[in-house]
Amino acid sequence: MSASNRAVSLSSLCVFLLTISTLATPSTSAIDSFVFGGCSQLKYMPGSPYVNNLNSILTSLVNSAMYTSYNNFTTIGSDPQDTVYGLFQCRGDLQGNDCARCVAGAVTQLGTLCIDSCGGALQLDGCLVKYDNTTFLGVEDKTVVVKKCGPPIGYDSNTLTGRDAVLASLGAGDGGPYKTYRAGTSGDLQGVAQCVGDLSPSECTDCLGDAIGRLKTECGPAAWGDMFLAKCYVRYSEGGVHSHSGKDNGDDNNNDDEVEKTLAIIIGLIAAVALIIVFISFLNKLCESGKGGK
């Protein structure tokens, strides 16, 4: 067996084991809750240099997540089309082990969600993982990717005043050193905001300002709200903000729930098929190896 084939076998086995562990221990933690995911339409050819470069990037992301909450990597290809850019970022209040677990889970899900896609992004409640063959590092992007609003509470002046105070504190920060992750409270209301680590302080402020403005306008006097842009997000709620999967209100949000359930089913089916294929391939390689040794 050639060195490249051995590398493929090891890579497949790692993915197999990681997927097995993920399926065998269903997550009940909010950090693994699905927020959004997407894949580029451009595909790479199996066996191309892009595959090795992508595997290198994803491995670096998972390894780095044990030691830091944000990092980005670039693997330069011999051709520009084979260059891969990638980053991960964990929610600012996560510890190292939780961050690493979240990133590993996101990478595994991307492997089944974005098969053969040159680019993919997955936002879980606790972390973001993104890669592409077109650079996005250091590029401000205020595209709305997810908007969720809670049930209307009416124009209660006290509640709205508290909401506006929380959102203002998230946008301005606490006056100390620049932080990509921010948390604030006002009475029973809590809020969090975060920018992706490749943005400058001024770009982060601009992105959060846009997210806060959209949240106020599009959610109005809602009990809670989530606004995820491509490079930042803002969330607020009473008593916590980390998962609203069961609280959506209105037709749009009900549709979001159905999409998420459907996506979860599809990911599960794809993962099951992938497991069978990888397992059969692994057994075949073991048989070939045994025959070659005779």
pLDDT, tens only, 209-251: 999 999 999 998 888 999 999 999 999 987 666 555 433 333 4
List the CATH code of the domain at 144-248: 3.30.430.20
Mean pLDDT on 36-59: 92
pLDDT band at 208 (very low <50, low <70, confident <90, very high): very high
Average pLDDT, the chain: 78
Specify the CATH superfamily of domain 3-136: Gnk2 domain, C-X8-C-X2-C motif (3.30.430.20)
Give pLDDT, residue 174: 66
Residue 258 is predicted with a pLDDT of 45
Q: Is 49 exposed, middle or buried (0-12, 13-18, 19+ CB in 10 A)?
A: middle
Question: What is the per-residue pLDDT for 1?
Answer: 40
pLDDT of 277 strictly over 90 = no
pLDDT: which is higher, 243 or 160: 160
Work out the pLDDT band at 9, boundaries 50, 70, 90: very low
Cβ neighbour number for residue 263 with a 10 Å cutoff: 15
- Distance (Å, rounded) from C-alpha 267 to C-alpha 59? 21
Q: Supply 217's token pair.
A: 């306008």
Q: How far apart are CA 23 and CA 273, in angstroms?
A: 13
> What integer is the mean pLDDT of 124-131?
96
**Distance, CA of 149 to CA of 141 (rounded, Å):** 22
* C-alpha to C-alpha distance for 282 and 288, rounded to whole angstroms: 10
Residue 200 has pLDDT above 90, yes or no: yes
**3-136 and 144-248 agree in CATH topology:** yes
Region 74-83: what's the mean pLDDT? 87
Domain ranges (residues) in the chain: 3-136, 144-248
